[in-house]
Amino acid sequence: MTEPGGRISRRDLLRLAVSGGPAALAACGWDGGRLVQPRLLQISRLNDWVGEHVLFSGDRVAPTYRPDQRSGRMPSYFITRRGPPTWPDGREWALDVGGLVRKPMRLPRPMLEALPRLTYTVKHHCVEGWTAVATWTGVPVRVVADLVQPMERARYVRFDSFDSGFFNGWDWASALHPQTILAYAFNDHPITPDHGAPLRLYSTVKLGYKLTKYLTGMTFTEERPGGYWEDQGYPWFAGI
């Protein structure tokens, strides 16, 4: 117990650094403010890069489950506040596929259903932390890409919806992953409005908020498209 004065002041400083500092940060659920938040978003872009170029493999597939392993409940999220969005009666729905492609196309649902299909029972990972196993049927995005013949410049795919302007941007490799599909059936039945009817994007390699429901268009681009949640701060790549 020598030099009590000197030690106590140092100890107080330490206490401040150890407990006070982070506690002050944590106080009031601070998002980082104007100073720190842009840095956090920069690091998030760095994580996108690591996720895409280091941790992602275009041909690694997720495990599949048996239909009897399905979850009792598949939660349903959408942006519109008035219940699940529905396509207006009397207007013909079709998926517009365009952008940097040689053969832009408009694909009505019967045409999509006539293309080679994939059915799998897989686990859904929500950014919130819950999971749910369900069966999806659809046409792989890579099948549609073969039809429209993207140009070499195309590096991203943008998916648009009729749900209050919700959209997503995808990296090329994830969009053309063998388990990325345009789904029109859910648990053996035609997809219902709560799960994204008439057509939704589904995949095993991304979090749920990247799986655009209520699709209207699919656009091949050279520039990286943003996304509804991504533009508000969610990670852009969101690969799992």
Partner 1 sequence: MVRVTHWLSALLLPALIASGLQIYAAFPHFGEKGNVYPVPNPFDADQFGRFPEWARLGGWLGGGINWHFALAWPFVIIGLIYVTYLVISGEWRPLLFRPRDVPRAWQMQLYYLRLRRDHPEQGKHNALQKAAYTFIVVLGALAVLTGFAIYKPVQLAWLTALFGGFELARYWHFLTVWVFVGFTLMHVALVFLVDPASLRAMVTGWYRGRFPSHD
Binding site for partner 1 (CB under 8 A): 2, 7, 10-11, 14, 17-19, 21-23, 25-32, 37, 39-41, 43-44, 47, 51, 55-57, 60, 62-63, 71-73, 75, 123, 125-132, 204-205, 229, 232-235, 239-240
Q: How far is the CB of 75 from partner 1 (least distance, A)?
A: 5
Closer residue to partner 1 (CB): 97 or 206 = 206
Closer residue to partner 1 (CB): 172 or 234 = 234
Q: How far is the CB of 138 from partner 1 (least distance, A)?
A: 18
Closer residue to partner 1 (CB): 126 or 151 = 126
> 47-83: string of b/e by CB count within 10 Å (b at 16+)?
ebeebbeeebeeeeeeeebeeeebeeeeeeebeeeee
- For residue 125, the tally of other CB atoms under 10 A from its CB is 18
Who's near 84: CB < 8 A, 6+ residues apart?
Answer: 76, 78, 192, 193, 194
The pair of three-digit structure tokens given for residue 161, joined into one six-digit string: 């919806």
Q: How far is the CB of 175 from partner 1 (least distance, A)?
A: 15
Among positive and negative, which fits the CA dihedral 227, 126, 56, 217? negative
Q: How far is the CB of 186 from partner 1 (least distance, A)?
A: 16
Distance from C-alpha of 121 to C-alpha of 61, rounded to nearest angstrom: 13
Closer residue to partner 1 (CB): 51 or 217 = 51
Closer residue to partner 1 (CB): 161 or 204 = 204
